[in-house]
Amino acid sequence: MLIACNPFNVLCGPRGVARVFGPQKGASPEQVEQLAAALERWAHVIERDLGATGLRTAPGSGASGGLGAGLAALGGRLLPRFDVLLDHADLDSKIAEADLVITAEGSIDYQTPEGKIPAEVARRAKMYGKPVLALAGTIGTGAHHVHAAGIDAYESILPRPMKLAEAIDGGEEFLVGSAERALRMILLGTRLAHLPEMAGASRSR
């Protein structure tokens, strides 16, 4: 049984899923510690009743709130989800033929490089020397770290601050608009690069 999951999600410890994702989902500090304790108990039960050891910090063990650990204890193989997906999608050949790779995520932030799909797409794109643009619902804390992961530029799809319901209702419109804005900037850049004076200025540097 192959389990496609995020290998950066571990069950317990300082980087356990309760402490990483609990605050994102609205859990208070006290609730985070309660969740972390519950997952420690879950790990103990798995070890005691199923004889599965080493799952507290195994890559992917914290996926889906600890489901990864349970499935691994029953014999499942926890694999990076992107590697599993590649067995069913001819992504490499599509990237190799592309001039620009565009990917997307709900939020571009400090967690994006930690096994999120945009970072994995960027990693493979860089194998072929392709530039990568990411479109996101929001730009969060630490978004600048994605450049080191191979994402060359990112753009928020939201044109202004708004309530969640409005953002959801207008999602398609906002996504199309952000893609157009980003591509117009790319077009502008290519035109500037071909101006004689710009080329001369570049050489003088």
Note the pLDDT tens digit of each residue in 71-114.
999 999 998 887 777 667 788 889 999 999 999 998 899 888 88
Are residues 134 and 79 part of one domain?
Answer: no
Are residues 158 and 186 part of one domain?
Answer: yes
Greatest CA separation found in the chain? 73
Q: How far apart are CA 54 and CA 56, in angstroms?
A: 6
Q: How far apart are CA 166 and CA 24, in angstroms?
A: 21
Enter the tokens of residue 146. Answer: 């994605």
Are residues 160 and 66 part of one domain?
Answer: no
43 Cβ neighbours under 8 A, 6+ residues apart: 11, 12, 55, 56, 69
Are residues 198 and 103 part of one domain?
Answer: yes
Domain count, the chain: 2
Are residues 197 and 113 part of one domain?
Answer: yes
Final residue of a domain: which of 52, 83, 114?
83
Final residue of a domain: which of 83, 116, 143?
83
Owning domain of residue 141? 90-204
pLDDT at site 202: 55
Strand order in the sheet with 101-108: 101-108, 132-139, 153-156
Are residues 168 and 193 part of one domain?
Answer: yes
Among residues 78, 71, 7, 12, the alpha carbon closest in space to that of 41 is found at 12
Are residues 191 and 99 part of one domain?
Answer: yes
Are residues 108 and 47 part of one domain?
Answer: no
Q: How far apart are CA 133 and CA 148, in angstroms?
A: 13
Final residue of a domain: which of 65, 83, 101?
83
Are residues 46 and 9 part of one domain?
Answer: yes
Are residues 76 and 142 part of one domain?
Answer: no
Q: Which residues pair with 2 in a beta bridge?
A: 77
* 28 HSE (CA, 13 A, CB side): 2
Are residues 99 and 73 part of one domain?
Answer: no
Enter the tokens of residue 66. Answer: 């600890």
What does pLDDT average to in each consecutive run of 10 residues of the chain (205 residues)?
87 93 90 96 93 92 91 91 75 91 91 85 93 93 91 92 91 93 91 72 56
For the chain, strand residue ranges (E) read: 2-5, 77-80, 101-108, 132-139, 153-156
Are residues 77 and 108 part of one domain?
Answer: no
